[in-house]
Structure 1
Amino acid sequence: MSGRTERLLPARSVWATSMVWWHAGFYAALASVSYFAMFGDERESGTPLVVGALVLLGAAYPFLTRTKDLRTLRPTIYVALLVAVVVFLSFVYDGAGVLLFVAFPQVWMFTSSQRQGVAATAVLCVGVAVGQINRWGLAGTEVYGITAQLVTSFVASCMIGLWISKVIEQSEQRAELLAELEATRHELNNAEQARGALAERERMAREIHDTLAQGFTSIAMLSEAAQAQLRAQPEAPSGLVRSLTAITRTARENLAEARALVASGVPSDVQGGDLLAALKRLPETLHLDSIRLTVELPDNLPPLPSTQQVALLRTAQEALNNVRRHSGATAAEVLMDIPAGGPPLLRLTVMDNGQGFDVSADHQGFGLKSMAARLDEIGGRLQVTSAPGTTRLVAVVPTEALGPGGTDTGPGTRGTDAPLPGAVT
C-alpha cells in the first residue's frame, strides 16, 4: 500500500462516524428499487433477477463494510460487488440508475485510495452507460444523452469525492496536530510540576539547614557543656551523665541526617547502600528505653535502589517510634525476609506486644499515612493488623531478580507469624 493510501486510511474513520445515516439511506434506496421492480407499472420478466441482486448486495453490505474491517481487503471486495450489481441491473432494469445516488458515495467511502476511487467510478459509469445503450439501442439521441450523463456523473462524482477526501485528510491532519499539541502541553505541565517540586525541595533543604540543623547543633553543644560541668563535680549522678551523652549522640546523628538530606536527599544511614547495617543500628539510634528490641535480618539482600532502601528504613523508624509513643509495649521486633514463591519481593515486619489499636479508625495519625504513601511511591504496600498484645506492621516492596541465595532468608530468621516474647496470642 502506498504512502498516499496510508495517509488516507485515517480519513475513512471520519466516514465511519456518520455511518448510521449512510446505512439508512442505502437500505432505503434498495427497498425503493425493489418495490418499484416488483409492484411498479412496468414490471418486467427480469424482476426476480433484480430483486435477487439487490438482496445479495444488501446481505453482503453489513459483513464487508464493518468499521473494524475498514483497513482490510473486505471493503474493496464490497466495492467490486457493488459495481458489478449496479452494472448488471443497468442491463436488465430501467430503474437501476437510482442506485447511482448511493453507489458513488460508497465507492469513495470504501476504496482505500483516491486512485482506486477514480478507477471504480470510471468502471461504474462506463458499465451503466453500456447497459443503458444495450437496453435502449444506438439511436443518436439516446447515445448523446447517455454520453452526457456518463461524463457528467463521472466528473461530478470525482470532483465531490476528491474534494471530500481532501477535506477529511486536512481534518485528520488538524486532529493529529491538536493531539500533538495536547501531548506537548501535557509534557510541559509535567515539566512545570517537576520544576515546582524541585524548587519546593530546594526551599525545604534551605529550611532544614537554617532551622533543624542549627537546632541540632545547639542541642549537641549545650549537652556537651552540661556534661563538662557535671564531670567537674565529684558526686555527679552517673545516670544524668548517661542521659546527656545519649542526648548528644542523638543530636549529632540527627544533625548528620539533616545535612545528608540537604546535600543529596539520601539518609546518611543508607549511604553506600548498607540498609542491613542501618537496620541493625536501630536499637542504638532509637533509644527505646524500656522496650526490648530485637532485629533479625537475612545475610544478604538483592540489589535495591536508594528509594527503596530509604522507604524501608523510614518505615522501620516510624513504626518503632509509634511503638515507643503509643503502644505501651515491652518488646518489639524487626524482621526482614524474602517470601518464597511468587514475584520477587522484600518484606519488612515490625511487631510489638503492646495494647494494640483499631486499624479501621478514621483518626489514624500521620505516621501510618506517611508510611503507606512512601511505599506506594515505589510500588510497595503496607498492611497493619492489631489486637491487644500483638500488633504487626508489614511493608512489602518489589525487587529485581534475587541475588545469590534465592529465597533463603538467612540462618536464624523466623517467619513473621511467630509471636513475640511476652506477646498475647
Structure 2
Amino acid sequence: MTTADDGAADPAAAPDRYAAVVDDDWERQVVWWDRTFVAIVLLTAVALPSAGQRGPQLWVAYGAMAAILLAYALWGARAARTRDQRTATAYVVVLIVGTAVTVAQNGIATLLLFGAFTQLWMLLDPPRRAVVASVVLAAASTVGISFQGGFDVPTLLQAAPQMAIALAFAVMLGLWVATTMRLSEERARLLGELRDAQAELAESHHAAGVTAERERLAREIHDTLAQGFTSVVTQAQAATAALDRGEQGRARERLVLVEQTARDNLAEARALVAAFAPVPLQGSTLAEALRRLAERFTAETGARVLLDVAGTTAPGGATGHAAADVVLLRAAQEALANVRRHAGAHAVTIRLTRDAPADPAGAGPAPGVRLEVIDDGRGLSTGHTDGLGLAGMRERVSAVGGTLDVGPGEQGGTRVEVRVPAGDAA
C-alpha cells in the first residue's frame, strides 16, 4: 500500500493516477467502515446496562468508549483516508487502551474487538505492524477479561485460549484482506497502464493514419492533378508559340487539348474530394482507360504509342481487383509523365499481359498481371530513379503485393515493369 509518508518523501513526484483510482474506491469503503465502527461502539454501550452493568464501572466503560470515539474523530478517520502512519499509530494506542479498559469492566464489551481488530488492519501498514498491534490488543484484552475475575492465574489461563482463537482468526482474516487490497491496487495500476497504452496506441494509429492519408493524397495529386497541370502548361505554351507563328489552326488544337485536360483534372479533383474510384476507371476497364491515356499522350506530345492489351479486356478488369487495376493505371500515368518530361522519346510501347492460369497441382508461380511501358528515349539519368513519382509508384505497387522494376530497355530508352497479383476475375 502507498502511505502518505511515502508520498511526502518526494514532493517533486507527479501524482500517481493509478493510486488515485484506488484512493477513490478506498474513500467509499472508509465511509462504510466509519458507520460500522460507530454502530459497534453504540451497540456495546447499549449492551453494557442490559448485561447488568451499573455504578462506577459503567461510567468508566462509557468514558473509555468516548475516548475511543474522540480519538477516531481526531486521528483515526483522517488516518484511514490519508494512510498517515503517525496519526494511525496515535489512534491505535488509544484504541487498544480504551478497548482493554472497557473489557475490564464487563465481558460483553468484547464486542468492541470486532471493530478494533478490523481497524488495526485497515490503518496500519505494512501488515507486520498490524500483526504486532493485533497481538498487543489480544494480550491487553486478555488482561482486561482476567481483571474481572480478580486477575489471578486461573482466570488468565481460562481467558487466554479464547483470545488466542480470536487473534488467530483476526490475523488470518487481516492477511487475506491486506493481500486482496494489494491485488486491487496492482489491478488498478495495470488497468491504468492498459488505458494509457490503449490511448497511446490509438494516438499512434491516428498519427500513422493521418500520415498515410497525407502520403496517399500527395501521390494522388502527383499522379493526377500535377500531371494534368503539367500537360495544361505544356499545351498552353505550344498554343502561344503557334499563335506567334500565325498558326491559328494548330493553336486551336492545342487549346482544345488544354480544355479537355482541364476538364479531366476537374473531374479528378471532384473524385478525390468525394473519395470515389479514379475517374478513368469509372464505368470502363483498365484496357479502355489505358487506350484513352495513350491517345491523349500522342495528341499532346506527338509521340507514337503502341498499345498491346490483348487478353486483358474482360469486364472484371485486368487483375480482378479494382485496387490493383488502379495501381496499374497510376503506374502507366507516371511512366508516361516521366517519358514526357525526361525521355524525349519518339515512340512508346504500353503492354498489358496476364499470366496463364496456375497449375492445378499448385506448381509454378501464382498468376499475375504485368504492365510494361518502354520508350526509345535518352534512357535513365542520375536523380530520375528515386523521385517522388517512382517512390509513390513503388509504395502503390507494394501495397497490393506487386513488384516494380525500372531499367534500361533492350534497344535503348527506359523500361518500366509493374507486376501485380491477379484475382479470380479475368
TM-score, normalised via structure 2 length? 0.50
How high is the TM-score relative to the length of structure 1?
A: 0.50
